[in-house]
Amino acid sequence: MSWQLWLARDECRDTPLPWQSAQDKLSPGRVAQGFGVILAAIGTPAKTPKPRGKVPGATPGQVRPPKPRYPTVKKRASKRKKSEASRSSPSLQAA
């Protein structure tokens, strides 16, 4: 980011806040303050957002049923089952 600010220093205009004094040679912080103007002038390659609305096949006034709700599946670690060999071991029966 610092390289972008350093390269944009010549193209950026100083827009000091009310308590700041004007500068001839802009610092990276001052360039970052005015970088929004540069970005607005360049524009964005992103497409415009699509409008939200009903599906094309819906007739006017048609009420759609609510989406089905499903219970939340909660996974947990299962407990180890004791094997038959460990239950019938002589060391447990003697105690």
The per-residue pLDDT string of the chain (95 residues; one tens digit each, 9 = 90 and over) reads: 788 888 878 778 877 888 988 888 888 888 888 888 888 888 888 898 888 776 777 788 888 889 999 999 888 877 777 765 566 656 555 55
Q: Global pTM?
A: 0.42
Query: With the CA atoms of 81, 85, 88 and 89 taken in that order, what torsion angle do they form, in degrees rounded to the nearest 10?
Result: -110
The whole-angstrom separation of Cα 46 and Cα 92 is 70
Tell me what pLDDT residue 26 has. Answer: 83
In the DSSP assignment, the letter for residue 82 is: P
Q: How far is CA 16 from the centre of its chain?
A: 31
